[in-house]
Structures are given as C-alpha cells and as structure tokens.
Amino acid sequence: MNFIKKVWENKTDELVHLQFQKFSKGEFRSRALVKAKKTGNKYSIATSAEFGNELVLDLAKKLGSKTANVKGVIVSTNELNLEYTNKKQFMGIKQYGIDKDMSGNEIVSLMERFPKAFFGLSFSIPEGNTSLKIKPKAPKSAKPSTKGEEDIKPDFCKLVTEDAKLGESFIWEKPNFKTAEITHTFMIDEIVVPPELRNEKDFAKVREGAKRKGRIIRKAVIDGQAMTSEKNFEA
C-alpha cells in the first residue's frame, strides 16, 4: 500500500513518516502525481518519484524467495558500504549501480538496512504480470511552491500490472476507470516535536523525529470527471 492510501485509511507508519520527514512548513503543490489507464484487467500507472520506494518494497515482498533481474541505482547522501563496482558520486549524492539477479528477500533486506536511501530499481515479477521501471537517478528535493504550478510530470515510475489490489491502491475513487490523472497538494501547518526530543540540541535528530501535521488535498480527473477530497494527517 502506498503512503497516500495509508494516510486516507489512517494507517500511517514509519514509511509514511519518512515521506514527510524532508518537508518544512508550507504548501507543496504537484506532489505524488499519478497518471493511469486501465484496459481490461491491465493497469498502466505512471507516477512521480515519491512512490518509488514503496513500489519496490511491495513488489519485492511479492517476489519473496524467487529471483528477478534487477537494474537501477540506490541513491544516498551517506556511505552505504555496498560492494558494487558502478558507484558514482556528485555533489555529495552517491549512486550505487545494480544490474544482477536478486531475490525479493534480498531487496527487502537492503531496504531495511538503508531506509533513508532511494531505491530506483526496475524489475518484473510473475504475480499479476507486473513490471516496474524507475528512472535510475536521484529524485528532486522538496521545495515550497511558488505562485505558479510546478512543471512536474508523472513519469519517474512506471508500473504495469494485472494485480487489481495494487492498481486500486492508486485509484480508489472508481475501480473500473479508463483514464485517471491525480495530483496532491501537501499543506504542512505544524512541525510536532515529541516530548522526548524537546530538549535535544542535535537539530538533525529533532528534524528527523518530528512529525508533520497538516492536510493533503487530492485532485483527480477520472474519466473526465473532476473530484476533490481532503485528508488531515500527522506523520
């Protein structure tokens, strides 16, 4: 389940917290973008980068002990001590290249070891005839919106699947849709510092441990019909 769906179902967890950890107070438009098409039982879903890690994790869990050819990069500002020869570094951003067969359990283990890294990995799994392609590069950082709308396209992650549960986790307003475009605006109204961190002098620890409180505005156009919904959250 992706983080937007979790918020809507009041099921926030540590992965949801990590999604909002980088945000300051303010209004952040054009986030968590989704463009989808459904033909018969097949979902073709393109998204912005925010959904990348959870897509990789969900598919890796479905893959389990089976293996798949995995290509892409793991992106981090920290040294991950991974033994991959194709390592690149630019402006403090480290990219560890991957092109090998891996089991789903191996991918899950890596993600648990490095929860703050971005996993831009592409692979396919037999369950639901599912394939995932993610651009092998670092996503853009979060910045408050200016007056104009941001020119961000939902083309960072591309998912093709016949897994209805997975498809409907992105488009839940109308399960039998044909086309859908969805954008989200994050309204961060408050940074909530937990009691145990209120006397902490390490600002990085405070920033990482604090929760973001506000609301998400979800705007969707599904089969030509526009609809808007909002959800308060704290994560």
Q: What is the pLDDT of residues 40-85, one digit of tens each?
A: 999 999 999 999 999 999 999 999 999 999 999 999 988 888 876 5
Burial of 61 (0-12, 13-18, 19+ CB in 10 A): middle
For 63-122, give the secondary structure using H, E and C: HCCCEEEEEEEEEECCCCCCCCCCEEEECCEEEEEEEEEEEHHHHHHHHHHCCCCEEEEE
Q: Is 55 left (phi over 0), alpha (psi -120 to 50) or beta?
A: alpha
pLDDT at 6 (0 to 100): 97
User: Is 113 a domain residue?
Assistant: yes
Q: Is 139 exposed, middle or buried (0-12, 13-18, 19+ CB in 10 A)?
A: middle
Domain count, the chain: 1
Quick check: is 3 in a domain? no
Task: Please tell me the predicted confidence (pLDDT) of residue 152.
Answer: 73
Q: Select the more confidently predicted residue: 201 or 119.
A: 119
Q: Identify whether 1 is part of a domain.
A: no
pLDDT at 146 over 60: no
- Asked if the structure places residue 62 within a domain, the reply is yes
Residue 207 in this model has a pLDDT that exceeds 80: yes
Please report whether residue 184 resides in a domain.
Answer: yes
On the question of pLDDT at 149 being above 60, the answer is no
pTM score, two decimals? 0.91
Residue 131 structural domain: 10-234
Query: DSSP code of 128?
Result: G
